[in-house]
């Protein structure tokens, strides 16, 4: 998409990419809440997943035919809406159909997502493999191959214990876990970690180069890919442990603490070896946290009848950091350098760990 915007916008391409990303994130957030709520109201997730898959894929392959910048931005915004028509109800569907005792394993499996995404991006951008239009068809096909099995072959069923709302007289197991206090702490903890992730994702290349100028784009891409792949088995083992010991919150607190340690080590890194090692600590811990947090969020929401809407509200933690991160970076890096930014992010991750630590001891 950035390359297409560059073709149409010319010298002001960076500004238009920023504007498009900003407004696209806002629309995506609102659409996630809207379609999650609609799937709650009609009590049918599958129809929205079908609609979102068809609409997002159709718009994706039509991008090459867009000839003006205004049309392109409008298409991107509409595509974001269609994509979240699929993603919002799909996430809520997992909450309807995966027992609480398997939420940790679900989180471990979700760790495959960033790795498969990185692999897909690497494949479709192989030089000479496909032109712009063909790349979009490949992406649409990959998405369909990932989603169609559950739509055509999957027969998930609802569990009665997942449909009962928590309350003083509820028979729901572990009522302490499904309370407003837990939900609020989970929301803010994810927001803090997502701010760290967003800041590092946008600036990790520049940070690596500030330590070792020989580290290039390809080196950074390889490091990031290795980190997300290594995180998969760790997330699965930790998620399984959380299920077996019925401790869904403890791994979240511990992984946020390791993310904080990784960021602190990054702040003091002075060689390429220590930089890569410290980033690996942060990247693996952050991936484990976000994967398990996504699945355990399904467990703590107190009102199943509003599961789709409430997951959309949790999804704001994925988009809100894009509003905070640029100001944080611009206020610290030009004056104090990357160590100040990394130390600040370490504090945010530590706060996330602290928010969840006491909950982990209780539930």
Largest CA distance in the chain: 63
Q: Could you tell me if residue 24 is inside a domain?
A: yes
Q: What is the mean pLDDT of the chain?
A: 86
CA distance 356 to 250: 7
For the cut 50, the answer to whether the pLDDT of residue 168 exceeds it is no
DSSP SS3 for 337: coil
The answer to whether residue 173 is domain-embedded is: no
Residues 131 and 232 in one domain: no
Query: Does 213 lie in the same domain as 146?
Result: no
pLDDT score for 175: 46
Q: What pLDDT, on the 0 to 100 scale, is given for residue 254?
A: 96
Q: What is the rounded CA–CA span in Å between residue 170 and residue 31?
A: 32
Cβ-contact 191, 318 below 8 angstroms: no
Final residue belonging to a domain, choices 134, 151, 168:
151
- What digits encode the pLDDT tens for the residues 169-208? 444 444 455 677 888 999 999 999 999 998 888 788 889 8
pLDDT of residue 202: 74
Q: Are residues 14 and 84 in the same domain?
A: yes
Let me know whether 213 and 318 are in one domain.
Answer: yes
* pLDDT surpassing 90 at residue 258: yes
DSSP element (H, E) containing 169: none
Q: What is the pTM of this model?
A: 0.83
Does 342 share its domain with 275? yes
Report how far apart, in Å, the C-alpha atoms of 294 and of each of 31, 223, 315 are: 18, 24, 9
pLDDT for residue 31: 94
The pLDDT, as a whole number, for residue 171 is: 44
Question: Own/partner pairs for 223-228, CB < 8 Å, 24+ apart?
Answer: 223/276, 223/279, 223/280, 224/118, 224/283, 225/115, 225/118, 225/119, 225/122, 226/280, 227/279, 227/280, 227/283, 227/284, 227/287, 228/111, 228/114, 228/115, 228/118, 228/283, 228/287
**pLDDT score, position 195:** 93
d(CA 57, CA 14): 26
Is there a single domain that holds both residue 105 and residue 206?
no
- Does 204 lie in the same domain as 109? no
Q: Is the pLDDT of residue 37 over 70?
A: yes
The pLDDT > 90 percentage for the chain reads: 49
Q: CA-to-CA distance for 175 and 165, rounded, in angstroms?
A: 9
- The whole-angstrom separation of Cα 285 and Cα 281 is 6
Token couple for 29: 């957030």
Are both 215 and 300 inside the same structural domain? yes
Residue 80 pLDDT > 80: yes
Distinct helix (H) and strand (E) counts, the chain: 15, 0
Q: Are 142 and 197 contained in the same domain? A: no
Structure-block tokens of residue 93:
């569907």
Q: In this structure, how many other beta carbons lie within 10 angstroms of the beta carbon of residue 5?
A: 22
In this structure, of 11-20, 63-72, 243-252, 318-327, the range with the lowest mean pLDDT score is 11-20
Per DSSP, 249 falls in state S
Say if residue 69's pLDDT is above 90.
no
Contact between residue 314 and residue 297 where contact means Cβ atoms under 8 Å apart: yes
Range among 63-67, 99-103, 170-174, 341-345 rated most confident: 341-345
Whether 325 and 218 share a structural domain: yes
Q: Is residue 167 part of a domain?
A: no
Distance CA 75, CA 63 (A): 7
My answer on whether 184 and 294 are in the same domain is yes
User: Does the residue 342 lie in any domain?
Assistant: yes
* 3-class DSSP assignment, residue 268: coil
Q: Give tens-digit pLDDT for 50-61.
A: 999 999 999 999
What is the helix (H) or strand (E) element at residue 363, kind and residue range? none
Integer Cα distance of 159 and 116 in angstroms = 30
Residue 14 lies inside a defined structural domain of this protein: yes
Looking at residues 220-243, what average pLDDT do you find?
91
Confirm whether 163 is domain-assigned: no
Does residue 171 lie in a domain region?
Answer: no
Does 165 fall in a domain? no
Residues 60 and 202 in one domain: no
- Last residue of a domain, which of 151, 172, 197? 151
- DSSP string of 275-300? HHHHHHHHHHHHHHHHHHHHHHHHHH
Q: How many domains would you assign to the chain?
A: 2
Domain final position from 102, 136, 151? 151
- pLDDT digit string (tens) for 264-305? 999 999 899 999 999 999 999 999 999 999 999 988 887 888
Cα–Cα distance for residue pair 7/102, rounded to 1 Å: 47
Q: Is the dihedral of CA 305, 86, 295, 204 positive or negative?
A: negative
Residue reference for tokens 């498969």: 116
Other Cβ atoms less than 10 A from the Cβ of 141: the count is 12
Q: Please tell me the distance from the alpha carbon of residue 222 to that of residue 273, in angstroms, as a whole number.
A: 14
% of the chain residues with pLDDT over 70: 90
Query: Residue 346 belongs to a domain with what CATH number?
Result: 1.20.1250.20
- Computed on alpha carbons and rounded to an integer, the radius of gyration of the chain in Å comes to 21
CA dihedral sign, ordered 52, 54, 56, 59: negative
Domain that holds residue 344: 180-362
């Amino acid at each position: 998409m950035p390359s297409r915007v560059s073709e149409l916008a010319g010298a002001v391409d960076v500004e238009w990419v920023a504007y498009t990303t900003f407004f696209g994130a806002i629309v995506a957030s609102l659409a996630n809440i809207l379609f999650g709520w609609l799937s709650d109201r009609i009590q049918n997730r599958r129809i929205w997943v079908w609609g979102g898959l068809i609409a997002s894929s159709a718009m994706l392959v039509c991008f090459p035919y867009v000839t003006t910048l205004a049309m392109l931005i409008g298409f991107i915004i509409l595509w974001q809406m269609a994509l979240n028509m699929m993603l919002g109800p799909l996430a809520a569907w997992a909450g309807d159909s995966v027992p609480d005792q398997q939420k940790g394993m679900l989180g471990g499996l979700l760790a495959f997502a960033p790795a498969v995404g990185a692999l897909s991006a690497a494949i479709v951008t192989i030089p000479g493999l496909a032109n712009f239009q063909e790349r979009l068809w490949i992406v649409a096909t990959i998405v369909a191959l990932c989603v169609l099995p559950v739509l055509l072959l999957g027969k998930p069923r609802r569990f009665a214990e997942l449909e009962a709302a928590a309350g003083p007289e509820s028979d729901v197991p572990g009522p302490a876990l499904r309370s407003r206090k837990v939900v609020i702490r989970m929301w803010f903890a994810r927001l803090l970690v997502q701010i760290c992730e967003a800041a590092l994702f946008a600036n990790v290349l520049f940070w690596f180069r500030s330590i070792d100028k020989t580290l290039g784009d390809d080196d950074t891409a390889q490091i990031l890919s290795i980190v997300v792949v290594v995180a998969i088995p760790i997330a699965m083992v930790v998620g399984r442990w959380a299920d077996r010991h019925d401790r869904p919150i403890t791994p979240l607190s511990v992984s946020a603490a390791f993310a904080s340690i990784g960021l602190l080590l990054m702040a003091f890194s002075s060689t390429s070896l220590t930089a890569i090692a410290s980033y690996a600590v942060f990247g693996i811990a952050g991936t484990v946290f976000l994967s398990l947090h996504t699945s355990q969020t399904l467990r703590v929401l107190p009102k199943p009848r509003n599961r789709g809407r409430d997951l959309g509200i949790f999804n704001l933690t994925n988009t809100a950091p894009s509003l905070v991160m640029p100001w944080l970076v611009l206020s610290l890096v030009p004056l104090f350098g990357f160590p100040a930014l990394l130390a600040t992010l370490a504090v945010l991750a530590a706060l996330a760990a602290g928010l969840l630590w006491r909950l982990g001891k209780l539930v």
